[in-house]
Amino acid sequence: MNTSGQAGVDVPKVKLTKENFKQGLRIFRFVLPYKGAFIAGLLLLLLSSASTMVMPKILSYLVAIANHQTDTLPSYLPKTVTGIALVLFGVVVLQGFFSFGRIFFFTRVSEFTVRDIRRTLYKKLVTLPIPFFEQRRVGEITSRLTADVTTIQETFSLTIAEFLRQILTLLAGVAFIMWNSWQLSLFMLATFPPLVLLALLFGRSIRTFSKQTQDELAKTNVVLEETMQGINSVKAFTSEQHEVSRYGAGLNRAVQLALKSGMYRGAFVSFIIVAVFGGIFLVLWRGATFVELPVSDSRHLELKDLIEFILYTVFIGASVGGLGEMYGKIQSSLGASERILEILDETSEPVHQPRPAGAAPLQVRGEIDYQNVQFRYPTRPDLAVLKDISFHIKAGEKVALVGPSGAGKSTIVQLLMHLYPLSSGSISVDGRNIDDLDLTELRQHIGIVPQETLLFGGTIGENILYGRPGASEADVVDAARRANAWQFIQSFPEGLDTVVGERGIKLSGGQRQRIAIARAILKNPAILLLDEATSALDSESEKLVQQAMDELMQNRTSIIIAHRLSTIRKVDKILVIDGGRIVEQGSHEELSNDDNGLYANLLKLQFELT
Ligand SMILES: Nc1ncnc2c1ncn2[C@@H]1O[C@H](COP(=O)(O)OP(=O)(O)OP(=O)(O)O)[C@@H](O)[C@H]1O
């Protein structure tokens, strides 16, 4: 029974069926560019296996010469012990050479292939639409690029080679022993099935336990990830001890399971030892009785043949044992490639498409029109977030969206960037439906200053440049100045080269926002989306941010999601949103005079609060 499906994505193995084998093989298209090296590796593998397989044969000649039985030796071989020993040494050196070459070629193939898989996967990931990311946890996605790809890498560098080598060893070994003595071979092969069966049963229990251990460990990793990401909350709620015990309890469960699995593994190893040596002794005993038989008996064996037989038997046994392990690894990598291909099969957003021949770059003046827009988030299809939104913004106008939390303001703004498909209705920019516009071009004309500015881990300069990669330093400095950011940037010893720390944690909220504004100024978009920060800044900082925003909004169509109503008196139009509808619209004066209106009430509420 396959229990793997229930535990979901963290389960590394899949059942081998023809279908998923075929699916998994699709990952091989990444090997195609390196097929030359792959074939060279395979040839060397064949040669190294062949040189291993002739060793027992040569060893048996050594025994024959030592026993003065040179008449059975092929004529091209030396007839002295030293001569044969030298041949043996030569074969070993060749074998070393072949193995080196095999590893050399397979490493190249696997490293390049894995680089290509990672690159393709990453490219795919960044071009996937937002709902994809909302349906999955970040840890799950990263493990596709790390754990799963590593599994596949091992397959390309080792598993395939080992698997083939063991099959070759098995086939050649059986052929050799059959040639040597079919009676003894049949006896030997009869001991195999019961041993293999027992080994399989054991292996299955061990796998179940180690899978459960891994699952438990994965759960503890979730605790680790969550608490590291939200370490501020852990401290603020003084829940350090609670988290430590939560993590500890998970670890204990994992250890309990690992111990159980260890018991089985121990038993398995001792079973294997007994079985392997028992099996060899059994064959040795049976073979010795054949050696004892008179030469006239058809079952009679020479001593050298018995030694050869035993050596091949050891090879066969080792390859059968190895095949089980390889089978497990192949299952894991099929699972891994299935999950990788699943992502590669997702449909990307059509970004960075080549412009049709003769088409001019998109020019945007900034006129925006929403017509009867209805919307549900794809991850929450039962909740109608926007019920019927229609409004028109002329190019260069400034419009504020206000309304209670959860009313749908951010959603309205996000839809303009075409981050989600609409449920119904239409949005147009300069009279053209955004569905018909090139996504990348559309987004290039939209600047956004989000509520919580997320900076990338590099320097301040790099973060501002994100607005327009390739801009000159003078432009960056100018943008920083206009965003009221230059003063604080200059006060840092390293200026623009100051590293902001992961997610920008080394900067204050107000500083981060001004960097986001500088970024948007550098981008110089026709349309600006401003999500005012809810977290209050101190009044000095707020003044600086507000000035920067005013500078940024000049000569652009701007939509401001306003939380502090005091900041939007100057806008051309205010849309009051509630429950996914526009409930009022007009200028500040018009709306504040309507005593029963929501805007007037929100104003009163804020006035009372401040
Ligand atoms: N990515 C998402 N997936 C599913 N539902 C969402 C998502 N983002 C927002 N929602 C839901 O959509 C509704 C509107 O959210 P939205 O963020 O647009 O409100 P808002 O008016 O901007 O609120 P706030 O002023 O608090 O930022 C809320 O009920 C919210 O729970």
pLDDT digits (tens, 9 = 90+) for 42-57: 999 999 999 999 999 8
Ligand 1 pocket check for 405: Cβ under 6 Å: yes
pLDDT at 218: 80
> Which atom number of ligand 1 is nearest to the Cα of residue 408?
18
Q: Tokens at residue 92, please?
A: 């070993």
State the average pLDDT over residues 130-149: 85
119 lines ligand 1 (CB under 6 A): no
Task: Encode pLDDT of 349-380 as tens digits.
Answer: 988 888 888 888 888 999 999 999 999 999 89
Show the domains of the chain with their CATH numbers: 10-180+323-349 (1.20.1560.10), 366-445+557-610 (3.40.50.300)
* Segment (H or E) for 468: none
**Amino acid type, 476:** V
Here the tokens at position 230 are 């939200």
Residue 580, ligand 1, Cβ within 6 A: no
576 Cβ inside 6 Å of ligand 1: no
CA of 517 to the centre of ligand 1 (A): 23
What is d(CA 14, CA 2) in angstroms, rounded to the nearest whole number? 8
- Cβ atoms of 320 and 276 within 8 Å: the answer is no
Range in 312-326, 406-420, 532-546, 548-562 with the lowest mean pLDDT = 532-546
Q: Tell me the average pLDDT across 148-176.
A: 88
Whose Cα sits closest to atom 25 in ligand 1?
405
Ligand 1 within 6 A of CB of 604: no
Whether 225 has a pLDDT exceeding 90, the answer reads no
Alpha-carbon distance 246 to 256, whole Å? Answer: 16
Distance 411 CA to ligand 1 centre (A): 6
Residue 434: its pLDDT value, please? 94
- Residue 532 contacts by C-beta under 8 Å, 6 or more apart in sequence? 451, 560, 561, 562, 563, 564, 567
* Over residues 400-425, mean pLDDT: 93
Most confident of 158-162, 355-359, 472-476: 472-476
pLDDT of 534 > 80? The answer is no
Q: What pairing do the DSSP bridges indicate for beta strands 398-402 and 573-578?
A: parallel
Mean pLDDT value of segment 116-124: 94
Whether the per-residue pLDDT at 148 is higher than 60: the answer is yes
As to burial, measured by CB atoms within 10 angstroms (0-12 exposed, 13-18 middle, 19+ buried), residue 247 is: middle
Indicate the burial class of 461 (C-beta count within 10 angstroms; 0-12, 13-18, 19 or more). buried
Query: Mean pLDDT in the chain?
Result: 86
For residue 479, pLDDT over 50 is answered with: yes
The pLDDT value recorded for residue 359 is 81
Q: What is the pLDDT of residue 11?
A: 41
The whole-angstrom separation of Cα 583 and Cα 567 is: 21
Ligand 1 atom at minimal distance to the Cα of residue 563 = 25
Q: Which residues have C-beta within 8 Å of that of residue 435, sequence separation ≥ 6?
A: 418, 426
pLDDT of residue 467: 87
Residue nearest to atom 5 of ligand 1 (CA): 377
20-24, 71-75, 78-82, 414-418: which has the minimum mean pLDDT?
A: 20-24
Model confidence at 10: pLDDT above 50: no
Per-residue confidence (pLDDT) for residue 2, from 0 to 100: 35
Give the pLDDT score at 15.
66
Residue located nearest, by CA, to atom 3 of ligand 1 = 377
- With a 6 Å cutoff on the Cβ, whether 497 touches ligand 1 is no
What is the Å distance from ligand 1's center to 606 Cα? 22
pLDDT category of residue 6 using cuts at 50, 70 and 90: very low
pLDDT for residue 9: 39
Predicted pLDDT at 610: 56
Reported ipTM exceeds the 0.90 cut? yes
Answer yes or no: is pLDDT of 108 > 70: yes
- Which of 402, 411, 581 for mutating ligand 1's site (highest number of atoms within 8 Å of CB)? 411
Distance of CA 549 to the CA centre of its chain: 38
The percent of residues in the chain predicted with pLDDT above 70, rounded, is: 95
C-alpha–C-alpha distance, residues 155 and 605, integer Å: 64
**DSSP characters over 558-608:** EEEE-SSGGGGTTSSEEEEEETTEEEEEE-HHHHHH-TTSHHHHHHHHHHH
DSSP notation for 31-72: TGGGHHHHHHHHHHHHHHHHHHHHHHHHHHHHHHHHTT-GGG
pTM, to two decimals:
0.77
pLDDT at 413: 94
Q: Are 444 and 476 in contact (CB under 8 A)?
A: no
* C-alpha of residue 408 to centroid of ligand 1, in Å: 6
Is the CB of 134 inside a 6 Å radius of any atom of ligand 1? yes
- 555 C-alpha to ligand 1 centroid (Å): 29
At residue 4, the pLDDT reads 35
No. of helices (H) and no. of strands (E), the chain: 21, 10
**Residue from 385, 402, 576, 602 to probe ligand 1 pocket by mutation (most atoms less than 8 Å from CB):** 385
